[in-house]
Chain A
Amino acid sequence: MDPHTRSHLVQRVQKYFLEFLQTFKRPTEDGGREDDLYYVSQAKAMVRENKKTLYVKMGHLEQADRDVVSFEPEDLIAVIHSKYMVVRDAVNAALPQLLSNLEDPDLQAEVEKMDELKFTVAFYDLATYSGIRDLRTEKLGRLVTICGTVTRTTDIKPELLVATWKCNECRREISGVSQEFKVTTPPKCPTKNCGNTTNWSLLAESRSTRWGDWQRVRLQENEHEVPAGSMPQTMDVIVRDDCTEKCKAGDKIQITGSLIVVPDVPTLMSPGELKATVRRSLNTRSDPSYAAGEGIRGLKSVGNRDLTYKLAFFGTYIDEDSDWASRGSEEKSENIRSEEKMYLSQVDKERFEQISEHVNVSGKRDCLDLLARAVAPSISGYLEVKKGILLMLVGGVKKSTMEGIQLRGDVNVCLLGDPATGKSEMLRWVSKFLPRAVFTSGKSSTAAGLTASVVKDNDLDNERLIEPGALMLAEPQMQRCWCFDTRYDGGGVESEDTMPDDNGVCCIDEFELMDIKDMVAIHEAMEQQTITLSKAGIQATLNARCSILASVLPKNTYYQATLPLHKNCELSPPIMSRFDLFFVMQDIRDETQDLTVAKHIVASHRRKDDEVAPPVSHLDLQRYIRLARTFKPKISPEGSALLVKCYKKLREDRSYTRGGAGVTVRQLESLIRLSEAIARVYLSEWVRPEHVKEAFELQISSLRQSERESIDLGAEDLAPTKRGREDEEEPREAERKAVKRVRITHPEYMRMGQMLLRHLVDQAAAGQVVTEGDLITWYMEQVEPELVTEEQLFQRQHLVQLVVSRMIDKDRVILVTEPAKEGDPLQPEGRVLEKHPNVPVDSLDRI
């Protein structure tokens, strides 16, 4: 660009930008404009707070009122985007101009005290963002936003902007020597006959010597953006003045600024020397401005033959990354902290919309199913559990009451299951899927309870083996226990403003083995989402805003379907009621399911990718969830009516009761959370009845899954479909009833049923007529060897009678071809029985 065009462009940008600042009014929802001149009042506030940075939202430039301004907003935006480093000075210069035009004497006095070179304009809320990997030379000088994790920061160092030198020969002061990359002294003393060119001292205190702050931050690519198998890339970011000390190592931040070029010394050294040099280079002063605009003013001063440079990023706006944060309804002051952001390219947006609009064969939207299938794809089946995990990842909307009490939006899920049902695999998948949740406090846990050692095993010929320390080694995912994403929350007064929602997922395997002290802490963590510690006289509150995904082994290792849920796991009712979803994963020997699982595993070993590959990829799922989390669905009137109805139904119907605690208000809250999460999955702004319905079904299924497996037999059983558990039963009463009421597991019922049916078929083939009495006698003959005591004999006889009546009356797989001859309903043994012709013997489980 020739100098003329350039200065013309710069002048015009300054003029137009000033115009924008002076006239912009925020649009209101009804299409009008606010009365307030937004940036004028922002600038005033800035001066009052003694700050020097004005934050300008990129979206506001688009909203500029075309009737008021004399330029095309699109053009100005395009110029700022593509030539940021060229017009940056002009944009910054518009700010003191704006301030000097304000008619406010107090303000003027304030402004005069400030250094006008220091005023900067920081843009934020750009429409797109680049990964660190995408920053290449074609992005030089453009305005971009990047995201990453801070790995190192330097101390804040003074940076000499403009120096005043004293000639040590004639004591003359020379001011206004601008500094370029390195400390620059005047070429020659202007005093006549002095001739000094080398002997100078810096007048650091002089009025005309100007200093700035600068800091170098090393940013590393976010874990979830690193392509599989690659190393995360890093980028040096240089920030100045108001932007310094905005972040510390470990923070996830986003930075808006521009890519610049700086000479790179380290790569010229041998790799062995790299370490020392890089450390040095982090400490050397580097002024990004030398690379501004022209890109390479530093070249002539480098003057050597080695022409290698590296890219650095000049940051003008730093914000915490809101990727995983779901900010509640509390709106931050817009200038400092922007609202929700979701950076997505247009292509992605369209693709995700397509996913959310996906319909199944019958024309129903089923993106929940579709996405749930992408959860832990290496595990076959368990769609309900996967739905639960998906909803946990998406989460409900966090709210706070008028009094400022937080209502959590995180969904807690508990998996109760037999060994080898893939619980751990699920947990592991989640911890891999969400790196954020997993690793935050891993360090402290390695330092603490870690006592693995090599021991001699006396049982095995004194051979040596590595014994894992308590939690750490036994299973890979266990090291991630206690990975609450916590941050120390000092005073607790301003915490809400300064802290992002941590929002991780804490995966706890073998929850039931947890120390009782920790269990108590979990109570607090799960509902109030804080952990309170009292140590050495200091009361500290740690935020633990995370969902909990726990896996629990049943009390007797295997889930006993005959026992109610709360008797199967050793969790206290308060803890149980804090889980929104409770899934029972049983290792059932079921032919069809075994077949699917076996096919799935074999297929994955046979390279049949299409059979194994999930419909939505890992990365897409992550991004989809990120997108879904930006939605804040409100409950529609119809939805709220249905919620009330569902809750009443839950309370009324005792068969849904879970645990000793029964249905409490917590279940209503979890129902709301789940509905919200489902609405988010559908990318809906409203919680509609269909979402509530789906949530309700999921909650019911998670409660009832176990119940299907235990079958009550007995007198009451003749009444239609009364299959509920008697949870609050007095033990004695239960004992008394035990004679009449017997409960067997579903598989056991199946087995007996199969046996009886086969006998009926065999007899029918032989042309024999079988009465109920014959059948029972035959059965008792078959099982006789198993029985030892007389009591067992009676019990078994009673059982088989009940089973046969159930098969006749309820499941209707046995037909009564002839009623009992005496016609006495109390003596049914005489009934002649036959297998229902529509029931194949092998598929009894379809009933």
Chain B
Amino acid sequence: MREISRPLEVIDELLEPFSACLSVPGALPPREWREKAHFLRTLKLEDEDNFQDIPCLNETDTWLDVPSQSLVRYRCMVQDVLEPEVYPLFLQSTGALVTMKYREALPTGSHAKPLSTLETGNWATRGIYLCVPLPGESSWAIPRRGPNGASECGPGTSAPNTVGCSCLVKLYDVDEESLKVCETVEVLGVFHMGAGAPRLHGLHVRKLPFFHPMLPYSPRWLSEGRLLCTFQRRFSGFAVRSLRDLAIQILQEPLGGDQLAAEYVLALLVARVYGNDGSRALGRWSLNLSHWQEGSVDLLVRALAKLHPRVLHLPVTPETLKQRRWTPQKDFDANRLRSGLLQLAPGTLLVFDETQMDTGPLDAAGLRAVQGIRGLASEQMLLVDFFNYEVQVPLETPAKLMPSRPTSLAGKLFVHLPRRVHLQSG
């Protein structure tokens, strides 16, 4: 299908009816010539099931094999919003119109010149986002990989806790400013692999809050009706109950057989923010589990990873607090955001493990880390360090604290289970 193998050709062809503009001085084609609608219609993307037919960057072992300038999709988290880029919209190439939209460089062999009317009308901006694969994905949630687990992606960089590589996503028109830091999105667009970082020029963006690999649909499409007709057949009331029991059983094991604790953990996994009161998020809470025996936290994390697509285990000790970068930081020299451990996709389960906590002083960085953890765990806010002030990004993540006791890490909302957990020996 040409739409997938050579999308740029299709886009230029769609532009052809406007080539009359070449002969009229000052005339310009419209900024959008229904190219997006064309792709959505031809690829039948109104039905989100059809997205699966398009090659996915997350599922390929090495990006070097993905043909450049082909149509792909990429599921990612927005790590940084860069300054928008300006480009000339239309070029004249031997009697034909060519667009720089969705392009990094001129087509090879063409002698394109920008249209003679270089007044402001021919300039356009595109939004640039640095995107990374979702951090902390459980092994079953990561699509098929090569033998070494990580994919090769040329000179791109990876963010902490992610498997896979980052990509510069460029968005146009209505999508240009639509993304915010930490959002989970799937971008459908033209892939460019050159000397620099891989780039993706987006034709269509799907926001996937609380992305789950079993249900890779946007909330708009995955209506209650669709959910019902898909799952009613598969899950009778009895099946649901036995599934729930199974989940409890899986969680119960590393919790020393404590069923109530397992129920709490399950409740934490399904909790959602349902509203806001001023700056407060309502509906989300954090859970404290204390009195651990050595090593059992790992078991629980493994059990959680079986149930939840994204789980992140973060040991909290004075050393890790001081040495690792927890909250994202603005680097004013490079004018970009340096990611931190806490910059995550919504719905990532955070396990703060305080069982290895030791005595020791904290420095300024450590303190910022503590504040960042607390902001995220108790207020569902990611604090982004802008040197002299903080930018708060709402970020919904269930957090589980594994402390010795309720400490200053937790906010108001925690459930403490005193001496609930009785670990069985052996």
Any A CB within 8 A of the CB of B87: yes
Q: Which of B105, B130, B332 contacts A151 (CB 8 A)?
A: B332
B125-160 vs A, Cβ < 8 Å mask (1 yes, 0 no) = 100101000000000000000000000000111000
Using known A-B contacts A233-B83, A275-B331, A604-B277, determine if residue A440 contacts B120 with beta carbons closer than 8 Å. Answer: no
B320-338 vs A, Cβ < 8 Å mask (1 yes, 0 no) = 0000000000011111110
Instruction: Determine the chain A residues whose CB is within 8 A of the CB of B278 once the complex forms.
Output: 376-378, 429, 612
A224-240 vs B, Cβ < 8 Å mask (1 yes, 0 no) = 00101111111100000
Any A CB within 8 A of the CB of B282: yes
- Are the CB atoms of A454 and B359 closer together than 8 Å? yes
Q: Which of B86, B124, B130, B181 contacts A264 (CB 8 A)?
A: B86
Instruction: Determine the chain B residues whose CB is within 8 A of the CB of A476 once the complex forms.
Output: 371, 374
- Are the CB atoms of B196 and A310 closer together than 8 Å? no
Q: How far is the CA of A264 from the CA of B104 in the complex (A)?
A: 13
Closest to B381 in A: A229
Any B CB within 8 A of the CB of A787: no
Stretch among B46-54, B225-233, B252-260, B385-393 lining the A interface: B385-393
A255-290 vs B, Cβ < 8 Å mask (1 yes, 0 no) = 000000100100111111111001100000000000
Any A CB within 8 A of the CB of B33: no
Any A CB within 8 A of the CB of B262: no
Q: How far is the CA of A138 from the CA of B88 in the complex (A)?
A: 13
Any B CB within 8 A of the CB of A607: yes
Other 13 A-B pairs with CB < 8 A, given A460-B404, A465-B404: A141-B120, A229-B393, A264-B86, A273-B196, A307-B87, A308-B85, A454-B358, A454-B359, A455-B359, A457-B405, A473-B371, A476-B371, A605-B275
Q: Distance in Å from the Cβ of B389 to the closest Cβ of chain A?
A: 4
Q: Distance in Å from the Cβ of A378 to the closest Cβ of chain B?
A: 4
Q: How far is the CA of A476 from the CA of B332 in the complex (A)?
A: 25
Q: Which residues of B332-375 are within 8 A (CB) of A? A: 332-337, 354, 357-362, 364, 366-367, 370-371, 374
Using known A-B contacts A137-B86, A309-B85, A309-B87, determine if residue A446 contacts B409 with beta carbons closer than 8 Å. Answer: no
Q: Which of B318, B331, B367 contacts A473 (CB 8 A)?
A: B367
- Are the CB atoms of A465 and B388 closer together than 8 Å? no
- Are the CB atoms of B114 and A296 closer together than 8 Å? yes
Q: Which residues of A424-443 are within 8 A (CB) of B? A: 429, 432, 435, 438-440, 442-443
Q: What would 5 A/B residue contacts be, using CB atoms closer than 8 Å?
A: A140-B123, A151-B332, A311-B84, A442-B388, A604-B275
Using known A-B contacts A460-B405, A464-B357, A612-B277, determine if residue A264 contacts B85 with beta carbons closer than 8 Å. Answer: yes
- Are the CB atoms of B405 and A231 closer together than 8 Å? no
B84-120 vs A, Cβ < 8 Å mask (1 yes, 0 no) = 1111100000000000100011100000001000111
- Are the CB atoms of B274 and A607 closer together than 8 Å? yes
Closest to B362 in A: A452
Using known A-B contacts A271-B156, A307-B105, A453-B361, determine if residue A231 contacts B88 with beta carbons closer than 8 Å. Answer: no
- Are the CB atoms of B157 and A450 closer together than 8 Å? no
- Are the CB atoms of A234 and B83 closer together than 8 Å? yes
Instruction: Determine the chain B residues whose CB is within 8 A of the CB of A295 once the complex forms.
Output: 118-120, 123
Instruction: Determine the chain A residues whose CB is within 8 A of the CB of B364 once the complex forms.
Output: 446-447, 450
- Are the CB atoms of A306 and B388 closer together than 8 Å? no
- Are the CB atoms of B119 and A1 closer together than 8 Å? yes
Any B CB within 8 A of the CB of A497: no
Using known A-B contacts A296-B118, A454-B359, A604-B282, determine if residue A446 contacts B408 with beta carbons closer than 8 Å. Answer: no
Q: Which of A218, A230, A261 contacts B86 (CB 8 A)?
A: A261
B280-294 vs A, Cβ < 8 Å mask (1 yes, 0 no) = 101100000000000
- Are the CB atoms of A310 and B120 closer together than 8 Å? no
Using known A-B contacts A295-B120, A309-B87, A460-B405, determine if residue A452 contacts B366 with beta carbons closer than 8 Å. Answer: yes
Instruction: Determine the chain B residues whose CB is within 8 A of the CB of A296 once the complex forms.
Output: 88, 114, 118
- Are the CB atoms of B82 and A309 closer together than 8 Å? no
Closest to A607 in B: B275
Q: How far is the CA of A466 from the CA of B318 in the complex (A)?
A: 9
Any B CB within 8 A of the CB of A136: yes
Q: How far is the CA of A456 from the CA of B106 in the complex (A)?
A: 65
Bin the interface of chain B by size: 35 or more
Q: How far is the CA of A441 from the CA of B357 in the complex (A)?
A: 31
Using known A-B contacts A138-B120, A231-B80, A465-B405, determine if residue A307 contacts B88 with beta carbons closer than 8 Å. Answer: yes
- Are the CB atoms of B123 and A270 closer together than 8 Å? no
Q: Distance in Å from the Cβ of B116 to the closest Cβ of chain A?
A: 11
Any A CB within 8 A of the CB of B423: no
- Are the CB atoms of A267 and B168 closer together than 8 Å? yes
Any B CB within 8 A of the CB of A468: yes
Using CB atoms and an 8 Å cutoff, list the residues of chain A in contact with chain B: 1, 133, 136-138, 140-141, 151-152, 218, 223, 226, 228-235, 250, 261, 264, 267-275, 278-279, 294-296, 299, 305-311, 376-378, 429, 432, 435, 438-440, 442-443, 446-447, 450-457, 460, 463-469, 472-474, 476, 604-605, 607, 609, 612
Instruction: Determine the chain B residues whose CB is within 8 A of the CB of A469 once the complex forms.
Output: 367
Instruction: Determine the chain A residues whose CB is within 8 A of the CB of B106 once the complex forms.
Output: 305, 307
Q: Distance in Å from the Cβ of A82 to the closest Cβ of chain B?
A: 10
Instruction: Determine the chain B residues whose CB is within 8 A of the CB of A612 once the complex forms.
Output: 277-278
Q: Which of B105, B166, B181, B408 contacts A271 (CB 8 A)?
A: B166
Q: Which residues of B48-94 are within 8 A (CB) of A? A: 80-88
- Are the CB atoms of B124 and A137 closer together than 8 Å? yes
- Are the CB atoms of A140 and B120 closer together than 8 Å? yes
- Are the CB atoms of B367 and A472 closer together than 8 Å? yes
Q: Which of B123, B279, B360 contacts A137 (CB 8 A)?
A: B123
Instruction: Determine the chain A residues whose CB is within 8 A of the CB of B374 once the complex forms.
Output: 476
- Are the CB atoms of B358 and A279 closer together than 8 Å? no
Any A CB within 8 A of the CB of B384: yes
Q: How far is the CA of A476 from the CA of B275 in the complex (A)?
A: 23
Instruction: Determine the chain B residues whose CB is within 8 A of the CB of A439 once the complex forms.
Output: 388-390
Q: Which of A233, A270, A466 contacts B407 (CB 8 A)?
A: A466
Instruction: Determine the chain A residues whose CB is within 8 A of the CB of B100 once the complex forms.
Output: 307
- Are the CB atoms of A378 and B277 closer together than 8 Å? yes
3 closest A-B pairs (Cβ-Cβ)? A275-B334, A270-B197, A604-B277
Closest to B365 in A: A446
Q: Which of A141, A271, A272, A463 contacts B404 (CB 8 A)?
A: A463
Q: Which of A267, A432, A446 contacts B82 (CB 8 A)?
A: A267
Any A CB within 8 A of the CB of B394: yes
Q: Distance in Å from the Cβ of A126 to the closest Cβ of chain B?
A: 19
Using known A-B contacts A261-B86, A435-B389, A465-B408, determine if residue A229 contacts B156 with beta carbons closer than 8 Å. Answer: no
Q: How far is the CA of A450 from the CA of B370 in the complex (A)?
A: 13
Q: How far is the CA of A446 from the CA of B362 in the complex (A)?
A: 12
Q: Distance in Å from the Cβ of A26 to the closest Cβ of chain B?
A: 35
Q: Which of B177, B336, B358, B388 contacts A464 (CB 8 A)?
A: B358
Q: Distance in Å from the Cβ of B329 to the closest Cβ of chain A?
A: 12
Closest to B361 in A: A453
Q: How far is the CA of A296 from the CA of B69 in the complex (A)?
A: 27
Among A138, A305, A308, A466, the most chain B Cβ lie within 10 Å of the Cβ of A466
Q: Distance in Å from the Cβ of B288 to the closest Cβ of chain A?
A: 12
Closest to B406 in A: A465
Q: Which of B118, B157, B335 contacts A218 (CB 8 A)?
A: B335
- Are the CB atoms of A309 and B196 closer together than 8 Å? no
Instruction: Determine the chain A residues whose CB is within 8 A of the CB of B394 once the complex forms.
Output: 228-229
Instruction: Determine the chain A residues whose CB is within 8 A of the CB of B130 once the complex forms.
Output: 271
Q: How far is the CA of A377 from the CA of B276 in the complex (A)?
A: 12
Instruction: Determine the chain A residues whose CB is within 8 A of the CB of B354 once the complex forms.
Output: 464
- Are the CB atoms of B82 and A272 closer together than 8 Å? no
Q: How far is the CA of A299 from the CA of B119 in the complex (A)?
A: 14
Using known A-B contacts A271-B156, A307-B100, A447-B364, determine if residue A453 contacts B389 with beta carbons closer than 8 Å. Answer: no
Q: Which of B82, B105, B332, B362 contacts A453 (CB 8 A)?
A: B362
Any A CB within 8 A of the CB of B38: no
Q: Which of B156, B390, B408 contacts A270 (CB 8 A)?
A: B156
Any A CB within 8 A of the CB of B422: no
Q: Distance in Å from the Cβ of A306 to the closest Cβ of chain B?
A: 5
Among A229, A250, A378, A472, the most chain B Cβ lie within 10 Å of the Cβ of A229
Using known A-B contacts A136-B125, A295-B123, A465-B408, determine if residue A278 contacts B334 with beta carbons closer than 8 Å. Answer: yes
Instruction: Determine the chain B residues whose CB is within 8 A of the CB of A473 once the complex forms.
Output: 367, 370-371, 408
